[in-house]
């Protein structure tokens, strides 16, 4: 009996009850139009809808999360369960009419109980994010979703170039780790850090990259750029990851090329004020005049063809420029690694590189790596193997074998292990390996983002063209004048992300907002966070748990940023309506005659500001997301200040380097790709020089020797108990020898 119950609970499939709840929820969240027009077929009747939800959750949720979801769906199918969720007497949600179901959901979304808001947000994100992005067609057919035509969304572009990835991932470049190869360098993760350092190291030794994310097809035309497929294949946890309180969506790349394969192509330098701060923390390599870091940044940008000339701004970015100019706010063109920003298809590069237009790591650094004989393994790095405090190998397995240690395999490494698994996974890899420095997994920065949205009179088609070509820098210094303020930028907005992120007041408001999405403009407020969070592991330490609540200083800056984003949108000629992503969203309707600023309009403006202040940045009451994870293994000049030293080498272990965004000492303030790559370029060059034993390499090695001598064997700045033990044994030995001498 027990076995049957356990099997039932663990089974990763929906039954009829779950399906009924999903369908009744979906129709209440996004009600069918009564007019018989294009949006009149209920979502519950759309082909493949439930199947795609099931596919998504069974692929990306672990069985506990799936169990929670199933429990929620069962509760909704009983009167008692609905009453428990809803907080009052009721019939089963699934038996209510559409209007009553809408009322239950509205109460849930505004509940004063955090768990209820979390449940609502989780269900809404999952169901609506899928409903508006899934592909109802089979393989080898052009992607199609039944709702897209009512949103005027064209679906992914057919346009594809003849560019290929340039290497045959699954063929010659991939290795089967069942052979007993040894490598000079093993690099864990192929993202912004890993790809750059791998391209350098492959020239001085035999290299293996271990990447758990999806490989790129050798013919890029096989990348569909369908939103649901792109998110599922190329994003961490199929983009379903959130902070543990469910309030902040976490987007991170998990693919060959990591984040650079899906990111928005905005290439900002590490800001001077941030470098000054890092230099002030004793990391002089970041001094704003430091030639080494400047040289690395120049090399990175040259290699990826980063430029700010000839950039064509899409509809949304034009609005940001118009609004900034009218307010006299400082803005800049954001340099791009997207070659042709005029192409509509540039807006779909966040779902993989079908056109080869964006020069992400997968088709630049890794192509050269492959050409130089570098190898890949599609799988998971479990932990590092050490001997006498030095890294000597890596335990690896296929992605599906993480729970079967008997199938794990140890690969020996002759020189270095480079951990470039990103800020969510590098700390987990180190924790699984037994390292305990307090900076591993703490100080996580996210650049939390919220948005102000507007509807214009005309079509803007914000998802077309390069998404992030401008940046408003007016407020980056922050309300406290300390360099911790927001940048205002434009995001990439496709139907699924929009449906997941847009606030839901009631079904008709939500549907109306989405149906006007072709006229929508969004300005995001990207806060350089002063406060931090933590990342720890669950499911035997393999899956990240992110705990993060915005610091009150960050909240103040986010509120200020939202007000200024509102000012920008309000100043645009054709903007009609503006709102925030608060559950109790304030809405502003622009006066029809814009030229005159009436007293009534100013009252509305003040009311909008006030509503932002009052609604604040409460958990699950303001839509938040992040695409920048940083700092969770930060660099510090001693083991108390950081997990790694100036070379990225772990204080606790020799020959184990962390090279990715997790080593940022604090948040970068600018979108982090260029900073991550520049750090990797700088540290990778050092490793090459040390290996070649050049004059500079010798100097670097000497600095390293001195550093290690001073701090070796220490964790968190405290003496390692082993060393204390050794000292006591030594001291006792010396005293007995002395006593022995005296006796002679
Ligand atoms: C949607 C989106 C848009 C963005 N837009 C921009 C932008 O416009 N400009 C900008 O500057 N930045 C942008 N970023 C951020 C930028 O891409 C990241 O900051 C950057 O990729 C971080 O680099 P990284 O090396 O730390 O990690 P990543 O690039 O994330 O690489 C880590 C890799 O390690 C792999 N991995 C993890 N654990 C293991 C393991 N145990 N074994 C094997 N492999 C493992 C992961 O699958 C992943 O591929 C964006 C990010 C996203 C998600």
What is the tens place of the pLDDT at every residue in 665-676?
999 999 999 999
| CA nearest to 104, candidates 127, 126, 81 | 81
Q: Grade residue 220 by pLDDT with cuts at 50, 70 and 90.
A: confident
CA 72 to ligand 1 center in whole angstroms:
32
Q: Is 537 near ligand 1, meaning CB less than 6 Å away?
A: no
| Ligand 1: residue whose CA is nearest its atom 15 | 628
CA 422 to ligand 1 center in whole angstroms:
6
| Residue 717, pLDDT above cutoff 50 | no
Q: What CA–CA distance (Å, rounded) separates 425 from 658?
A: 11
Q: What CA–CA distance (Å, rounded) separates 661 from 447?
A: 13
If one compares 691 and 724, the residue with the highest pLDDT of the two is 691
| Residue 211, pLDDT above cutoff 80 | yes
In sequence order, the 6+-apart residues with CB closer than 8 A to the CB of 552 are: none
CA 259 to ligand 1 center in whole angstroms:
3
CA 725 to ligand 1 center in whole angstroms:
41
- Three-state DSSP class for residue 491: coil
| Ligand 1: residue whose CA is nearest its atom 31 | 191
CA 252 to ligand 1 center in whole angstroms:
5
Q: What percent of the chain has pLDDT over 70?
A: 90
Q: Is 264 near ligand 1, meaning CB less than 6 Å away?
A: yes
| Ligand 1: residue whose CA is nearest its atom 3 | 263
- Of ligand 1's atoms, which has the minimum distance to the CA of residue 423? 26
- Of ligand 1's atoms, which has the minimum distance to the CA of residue 189? 34
Quickly list H helices, 174-226: 192-201
628 is known as an active-site residue = yes
Burial of 703 per CB tally in 10 Å (0-12, 13-18, 19+): middle
Q: Is 491 near ligand 1, meaning CB less than 6 Å away?
A: no
What pLDDT score does 149 carry? 92
What pLDDT score does 719 carry? 44
Q: Is 187 near ligand 1, meaning CB less than 6 Å away?
A: no
> What pTM does this model have?
0.94
pLDDT digits (tens, 9 = 90+) for 442-470: 999 999 999 999 999 999 999 999 999 99
Q: Is 446 near ligand 1, meaning CB less than 6 Å away?
A: no
Q: What CA–CA distance (Å, rounded) separates 511 from 29?
A: 8
Q: Is 262 near ligand 1, meaning CB less than 6 Å away?
A: yes
Q: Is 660 near ligand 1, meaning CB less than 6 Å away?
A: yes
Q: Is the dihedral of CA 139, 142, 146, 148 positive or negative?
A: positive
Q: Is 531 near ligand 1, meaning CB less than 6 Å away?
A: no
- Of ligand 1's atoms, which has the minimum distance to the CA of residue 675? 11
Q: Which token pair is 517?
A: 């999405």
């Amino acid at each position: 009996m027990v076995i049957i119950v356990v099997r039932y609970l663990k089974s990763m499939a929906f039954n009829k009850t779950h399906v009924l709840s999903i369908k009744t929820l979906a129709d209440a969240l996004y009600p069918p139009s009564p007019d018989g027009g294009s949006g009149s077929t209920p979502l519950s009747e759309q082909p493949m809808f439930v199947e795609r939800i099931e596919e998504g959750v069974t692929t990306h949720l672990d069985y506990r999360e799936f169990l929670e979801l199933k429990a929620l769906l069962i509760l909704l199918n009983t009167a008692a369960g609905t009453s428990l969720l809803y907080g009052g007497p009721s019939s089963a949600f699934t038996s209510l009419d559409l209007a009553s179901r809408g009322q239950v959901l509205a109460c849930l979304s505004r509940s004063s109980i955090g768990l209820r808001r979390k449940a609502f947000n989780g269900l809404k994100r999952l169901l609506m994010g899928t409903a508006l992005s899934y592909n109802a067609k089979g393989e080898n057919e052009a992607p199609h979703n039944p709702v897209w035509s009512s949103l005027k969304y064209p679906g992914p572009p057919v346009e594809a170039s003849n560019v290929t990835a340039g290497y045959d991932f699954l063929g010659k470049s991939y290795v089967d780790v069942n052979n007993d190869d040894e490598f000079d360098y093993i690099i864990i993760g192929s993202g912004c850090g890993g790809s750059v350092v791998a391209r350098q190291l492959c020239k001085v030794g035999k290299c293996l990259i271990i990447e758990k994310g999806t490989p790129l097809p050798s013919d890029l035309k096989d990348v569909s750029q369908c939103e649901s497929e792109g998110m599922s294949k190329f994003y961490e946890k199929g983009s379903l990851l959130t902070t543990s309180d469910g309030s902040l969506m976490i987007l991170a790349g998990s693919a060959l090329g990591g984040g650079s394969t899906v990111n928005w192509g905005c290439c900002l330098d590490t800001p001077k004020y941030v470098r000054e701060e890092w230099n002030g923390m004793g990391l002089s390599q970041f001094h704003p005049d430091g030639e080494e870091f400047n040289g690395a940044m120049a090399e990175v940008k040259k290699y990826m063809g980063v430029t700010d000339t000839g950039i064509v701004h899409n509809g949304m970015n034009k609005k940001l420029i118009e609004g900034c100019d009218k307010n006299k706010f400082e803005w800049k063109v954001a340099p791009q690694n997207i070659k042709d920003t005029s192409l509509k298809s540039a807006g779909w590069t966040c779902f993989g590189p079908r056109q080869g237009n964006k020069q992400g790591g997968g088709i630049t650094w890794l192509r050269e790596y492959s050409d130089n004989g570098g190898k890949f393994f599609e799988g998971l790095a479990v932990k590092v193997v050490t001997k006498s405090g030095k890294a000597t190998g890596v335990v690896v397995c296929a992605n599906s074998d993480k729970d079967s240690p008997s199938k794990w395999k140890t690969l020996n490494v002759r020189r270095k292990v480079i951990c470039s698994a990103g800020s969510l996974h590098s700390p987990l890899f180190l924790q699984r390996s037994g390292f305990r420095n307090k900076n591993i997994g703490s100080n996580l920065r996210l650049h939390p983002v919220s948005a102000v949205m507007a509807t214009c009179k005309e079509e803007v088609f914000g998802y077309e063209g390069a998404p992030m070509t401008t940046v408003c820098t007016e407020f980056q210094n922050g309300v406290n004048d300390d360099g911790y303020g927001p940048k205002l930028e434009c995001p990439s907005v496709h139907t699924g992300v929009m449906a997941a992120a847009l606030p839901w007041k009631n079904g008709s408001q939500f549907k109306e907002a989405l149906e006007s999405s072709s006229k929508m403009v969004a300005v995001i407020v990207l806060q350089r966070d002063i406060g931090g969070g933590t990342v720890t592991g669950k499911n035997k330490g393999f899956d990240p748990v992110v705990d993060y609540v915005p610091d009150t200083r960050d909240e103040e800056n986010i509120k200020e940023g939202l007000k200024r984003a509102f000012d920008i949108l309000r100043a645009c000629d054709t903007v009609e309506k503006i709102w925030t992503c608060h559950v109790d969203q304030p809405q502003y309707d622009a006066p029809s005659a814009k030229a005159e600023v009436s007293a009534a309009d100013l009252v509305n403006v003040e009311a909008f500001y006030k509503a932002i202040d009052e609604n604040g940045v409460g958990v699950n009451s303001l839509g938040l997301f992040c695409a920048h994870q940083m700092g969770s293994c930060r660099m510090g000049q001693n083991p108390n200040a950081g997990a790694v030293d100036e070379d990225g080498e772990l204080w606790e272990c020799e020959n184990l380097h962390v090279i990715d965004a997790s080593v940022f000492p604090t948040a970068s303030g600018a979108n982090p790709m260029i900073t991550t790559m520049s750090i990797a370029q700088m540290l990778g060059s050092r490793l090459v020089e040390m290996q070649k034993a050049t004059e500079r390499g010798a100097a670097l090695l000497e600095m390293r020797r001195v550093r290690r001598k001073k701090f070796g064997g220490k964790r968190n700045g405290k003496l390692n108990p082993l060393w204390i033990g050794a000292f006591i044994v030594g001291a006792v030995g010396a005293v007995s020898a002395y006593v022995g001498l005296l006796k002679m």
